[in-house]
Amino acid sequence: MKNYSLLIMGGSNDDDGGGGVDGDGSGGNSPSRQGITVIDFNANWCGPCRRFAPIFHQVAEELNGRLRFISVDVDKTPEPARQFGVSSIPQITVLRPDGTSYSAVGFMGYNEFLAFIDR
């Protein structure tokens, strides 16, 4: 059982095809208590996405409670991808509390990902 919060949209844990579930299996789409949200836009058929997924999950576990992490399967839940203008995947988007955001496309290693979300 995962002990960190990771919202999965359109993933294999998403029973209803809707909002998703928390990584601990508790269900729930409660608003983030943290100020920063990190979104991983991905798809099952995408090789770089599959390589990045364990890194994303590891960082989500390590930073549990400090940031909110969301994984979005763009094939199963395309609307968020449209809202954020996703044209290539994997795309990692960081949303700041002041309403600004920044994104990067492509595979990132562990250290590169940590540096990216900390900028």
**Residues acting as catalytic residues:** 46, 49
Give me the helix-helix angle, 110-117 and 47-62, nearest 10°. Answer: 60
Q: What are phi and psi of 25, to 5 degrees?
A: 80, 5
3-state helix, strand, coil in the chain (%, to 5): 25, 25, 50
Residue position matching structure tokens 């979005």: 72
**CB–CB of 89/105 below 8 Å?**
yes
Cα 93 to Cα 104, 105, 114, distances in angstroms: 7, 9, 13
